[in-house]
Protein backbone atom coordinates (compact mmCIF):
# COMPACT_ATOMS: atom_id res chain seq x y z
CA UNK A 1 0.00 0.00 0.00
CA UNK A 2 1.29 3.47 -0.85
CA UNK A 3 1.17 6.57 1.33
CA UNK A 4 -1.54 8.01 -0.92
CA UNK A 5 -3.65 4.85 -0.60
CA UNK A 6 -3.27 4.96 3.19
CA UNK A 7 -4.53 8.57 3.23
CA UNK A 8 -7.48 7.54 1.05
CA UNK A 9 -8.27 4.64 3.38
CA UNK A 10 -8.11 6.82 6.50
CA UNK A 11 -10.23 9.55 4.91
CA UNK A 12 -12.87 7.01 3.94
CA UNK A 13 -12.81 5.47 7.43
CA UNK A 14 -13.26 8.94 8.95
CA UNK A 15 -15.96 9.84 6.42
CA UNK A 16 -14.24 12.94 5.05
CA UNK A 17 -13.14 14.03 1.59
CA UNK A 18 -9.69 15.25 0.63
CA UNK A 19 -11.22 18.69 0.14
CA UNK A 20 -12.53 18.67 3.74
CA UNK A 21 -9.17 17.53 5.10
CA UNK A 22 -7.36 20.26 3.17
CA UNK A 23 -9.79 22.85 4.49
CA UNK A 24 -9.53 21.67 8.11
CA UNK A 25 -5.74 21.50 7.99
CA UNK A 26 -5.33 24.72 5.95
CA UNK A 27 -3.47 22.84 3.20
CA UNK A 28 -3.53 24.28 -0.33
CA UNK A 29 -6.03 22.69 -2.73
CA UNK A 30 -4.89 19.36 -4.22
CA UNK A 31 -2.08 18.93 -1.69
CA UNK A 32 -3.24 15.43 -0.81
CA UNK A 33 -3.55 14.42 -4.47
CA UNK A 34 0.09 15.42 -4.87
CA UNK A 35 1.01 12.57 -2.54
CA UNK A 36 0.33 10.09 -5.35
CA UNK A 37 3.87 10.74 -6.52
CA UNK A 38 5.67 11.96 -3.39
CA UNK A 39 5.66 11.66 0.38
CA UNK A 40 5.12 14.77 2.53
CA UNK A 41 7.79 16.29 4.71
CA UNK A 42 8.08 15.73 8.44
CA UNK A 43 5.74 18.53 9.55
CA UNK A 44 2.91 17.34 7.30
CA UNK A 45 3.43 13.75 8.43
CA UNK A 46 3.03 14.84 12.04
CA UNK A 47 -0.06 16.93 11.23
CA UNK A 48 -1.71 14.14 9.25
CA UNK A 49 -0.93 11.51 11.88
CA UNK A 50 -2.54 13.76 14.49
CA UNK A 51 -5.51 14.50 12.23
CA UNK A 52 -6.20 10.80 11.71
CA UNK A 53 -5.07 9.80 15.22
CA UNK A 54 -2.61 7.19 13.94
CA UNK A 55 1.13 6.73 14.27
CA UNK A 56 3.51 8.04 11.63
CA UNK A 57 4.65 4.44 11.07
CA UNK A 58 1.07 3.45 10.26
CA UNK A 59 0.62 6.47 8.02
CA UNK A 60 3.83 5.57 6.16
CA UNK A 61 2.61 1.95 5.73
CA UNK A 62 5.37 0.55 7.91
CA UNK A 63 2.87 -0.94 10.36
CA UNK A 64 -0.21 -3.05 9.62
CA UNK A 65 -2.52 -1.62 12.29
CA UNK A 66 -2.93 1.76 13.86
CA UNK A 67 -2.36 2.21 17.56
CA UNK A 68 -6.06 2.75 18.27
CA UNK A 69 -6.95 -0.66 16.84
CA UNK A 70 -4.13 -2.31 18.78
CA UNK A 71 -5.29 -0.65 22.01
CA UNK A 72 -8.90 -1.69 21.43
CA UNK A 73 -7.89 -5.31 20.83
CA UNK A 74 -5.70 -5.34 23.93
CA UNK A 75 -8.44 -3.76 26.05
CA UNK A 76 -11.01 -6.31 24.85
CA UNK A 77 -8.69 -9.19 25.75
CA UNK A 78 -7.94 -7.78 29.21
CA UNK A 79 -11.61 -6.97 29.84
CA UNK A 80 -12.71 -10.48 28.80
CA UNK A 81 -10.13 -12.12 31.07
CA UNK A 82 -11.07 -9.78 33.91
CA UNK A 83 -14.79 -10.57 33.61
CA UNK A 84 -14.09 -14.31 33.54
CA UNK A 85 -11.90 -14.04 36.64
CA UNK A 86 -14.54 -12.08 38.53
CA UNK A 87 -17.28 -14.53 37.57
CA UNK A 88 -15.13 -17.40 38.83
CA UNK A 89 -14.96 -15.66 42.21
CA UNK A 90 -18.77 -15.59 42.37
CA UNK A 91 -18.86 -11.95 43.40
CA UNK A 92 -22.25 -10.43 43.79
CA UNK A 93 -22.84 -7.10 42.13
CA UNK A 94 -22.32 -4.80 45.13
CA UNK A 95 -19.51 -6.91 46.59
CA UNK A 96 -17.65 -6.44 43.36
CA UNK A 97 -18.10 -2.66 43.30
CA UNK A 98 -17.18 -2.37 46.98
CA UNK A 99 -13.98 -4.35 46.41
CA UNK A 100 -12.73 -2.13 43.60
CA UNK A 101 -11.16 0.42 45.92
CA UNK A 102 -7.72 -0.58 44.62
CA UNK A 103 -8.58 1.10 41.33
CA UNK A 104 -8.00 4.82 41.16
CA UNK A 105 -11.30 5.50 39.44
CA UNK A 106 -14.39 7.17 40.84
CA UNK A 107 -17.00 4.66 41.98
CA UNK A 108 -19.51 6.09 39.48
CA UNK A 109 -17.28 5.18 36.55
CA UNK A 110 -16.59 1.71 37.91
CA UNK A 111 -20.29 1.12 38.47
CA UNK A 112 -21.15 2.33 34.98
CA UNK A 113 -18.50 0.17 33.32
CA UNK A 114 -18.90 -3.10 35.19
CA UNK A 115 -22.07 -3.48 37.27
CA UNK A 116 -24.39 -4.25 34.37
CA UNK A 117 -22.09 -7.13 33.39
CA UNK A 118 -22.75 -9.19 36.51
CA UNK A 119 -25.74 -11.24 37.55
CA UNK A 120 -27.02 -10.62 41.06
| DSSP per-residue letters across the chain | --HHHHHHHHHHHHT--HHHHHHHHTPPTTTTGGGGT----HHHHHHHHHHHT--HHHHTTSSSS-HHHHHHHHHHHHHHHHHHHHHHTT--HHHHHHTTTTS-S-HHHHHHHHGGGS--
Specify the pLDDT at position 64: 62
Report whether 83 contacts 119 (CB < 8 A).
no
Assigned fold of 3-59: 434 Repressor (Amino-terminal Domain) (1.10.260)
pTM (predicted TM-score): 0.53
pLDDT tens, residue by residue, 63-79? 666 566 666 776 777 77
Q: Which residues in the chain are classed under CATH 1.10.260? A: 3-59
Q: For the chain, how many residues are written?
A: 120
Specify the pLDDT at position 48: 92
pLDDT tens, residue by residue, 9-40? 999 999 999 999 999 999 998 889 998 988 88
* pLDDT of 94 strictly over 90: no
The residue-averaged pLDDT of 83-98 equals 63
Amino acid sequence: MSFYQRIQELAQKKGVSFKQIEKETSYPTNTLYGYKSKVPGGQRLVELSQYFDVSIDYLMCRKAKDTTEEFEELFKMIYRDFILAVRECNFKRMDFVANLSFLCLPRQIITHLFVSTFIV
